[in-house]
Structure 1
Amino acid sequence: MARSDLDLGALNDAFSSAQISKHEEPTGPSYTNDDGDAGGLQIRCFSEVVNETAFHLQIIRLPKQIYAWIGCNSAKIGHLYAAAPMRPNTVGVTSILGGASDNTGSGIARRLVLKTGLNIILACNIPKNSPMLEADAEKLLVQKLINLGYTRPRYSYSPPTHDALKIGSFSLLNKSSADKYETGEFDAGGYKWKLVLYPNGNKKKNAEGYISVYLEMVGAEGA
């Protein structure tokens, strides 16, 4: 995948044009630098000790991109990766500085794209073949992203689109003189639908003598 596909130019433009207010870093383990003006950046820095390992995190939130740095027991930038969502439902990862696509950091970048839906630039100096350190660092970073509201909701709270056709008695239905019954229209997938029931079968489909039920798109040719 070409690096241009990852919108790296947007990252450089955002840094060069952004207006970041002056900030004095406190002596505590974390600090925040927010600029609410148009084109500003949201910067978060954290330091925490997990299982006797010191992790240093920096998160920079851009409009359509997140830059994150994970430092493990040092302030070295480490390897730099870029990851972006691709169709259909896949993620492309490339190495920008050092490392390779199968090194520690590329997997974290790929999973961050899935959790945020945004382009990810990730710097990471976690030692190679250290799965426990990688798991601890990723868990810590994801928790920070969740707390900051940078991840996508896990569930969709949109009400389901559906309709129902209730049949009280099949024996009485067979004796019905009506050719067919239709439900009201309902929306699903950007189209309008309705359920159509033929109590004595759909004669147009040579299905006489059987109960026929169809899901019909409104406006399409009749079943």
Structure 2
Amino acid sequence: MLKEQNVIKLLLTLSFFCLSFKLYCQQEIDGKYSSLMLNQEHYNYFDFNKNGIFEYHAGADLGEIEFGKGHYQIKNDSLILNYDLTKLNKESYFKTKKFYNSNDSIKINLKIYNLNKEPLSNIMVYSFPTYSATQSNKKGTASLKLKKQRHKDKIKLYVKEMFLAKQVMYLDGDSNYNIDVFMNKSVEQFGHPKAIKNQIIKYKIIEHAEDFIKIKKENRVIKLIRQSK
């Protein structure tokens, strides 16, 4: 009788272990999950890897609206997203070097690139109030020769293209310049995608099946459907 009781206890223990192991396995997340159906104008998705890293992306046909990357973990009944790996997008910027000479004119030399340092051609360059203009060539270079002004007089220099962020520089009117310009997409055309960085967001897991996970934050319930592995 005692032996039979021990066998029953052992079987119950093994059953409980197997059930716990099965539930634990269901807590793993791997693949791409979205709260939207496929082939919609807008998109959003979480891409979870077994190594504990995830990526989040949301946007539409015109470009990305929101993004982030980090580590995730499932603890008790919660999905915890730590956006600690997000890389920020670079802004357009420029670097200037200036020098002087005794001539009665100044020269502004520009090299215009995208953020990968690839030359950009047909970029408009014009100055105010001198109203001189030119465009960059295939090598991304452009030059303006202007009448020398007084030191206190400023030259306003524009570097502009429809789909790239406009650059505006205020230069000394008596100085020569060598300028490197690095241009990104236009804020007006594409907007700034929102980067989620250094935030920890916790969701309560309501239901977790093989092909979806249902989570809740405050009063909002989100059903993330598995799109792919």
Task: Verify same fold: TM over 0.5.
Answer: no
Q: Structure 1-normalised TM-score?
A: 0.23
| Structure ranking higher on relative contact order (CA contacts 8 Å, 6+ apart) | 2
Greater per-residue strand proportion = 2
**Greater gyration radius:** 2
Greater per-residue helix proportion = 1
